[in-house]
Amino acid sequence: TSRGLMCRDAMKPEWGMLFLMRQTQVQSFWMLNTLIPLDIMFLDEDWKVVGTAANAVPQTTTPRTVGKPSRYVLELNAGEAGRAGLSPGTQARFYPPRGADR
């Protein structure tokens, strides 16, 4: 969990990294050694968005949180959450990436 997307210089559009946290609580993420700006989405145990830390600045240790309990955290390229219309209350659904190697 602490490594996340560190040291990557790019991520494909519409891709992300999903974190399955051990318990529901207020989660906090940092951007240490993360080279790309991210939208960090926080979701509850029902997969509803509780908030987004949009356009998190790379290479900082500033805590990114929405101050609300969450169980899952999804990191996307900066701007992807807004383009997809994801906001608090949105029900998330996950599909495997098209053409992904398995």
pLDDT of residue 49: 97
pTM of this prediction? 0.85
36 Cβ contact list (under 8 Å, min separation 6): 5, 8, 9, 10, 11, 58, 77, 78
pLDDT at 99 over 80: no
The whole-number average pLDDT for the span 3-30 is: 85
The pLDDT > 70 percentage for the chain reads 87
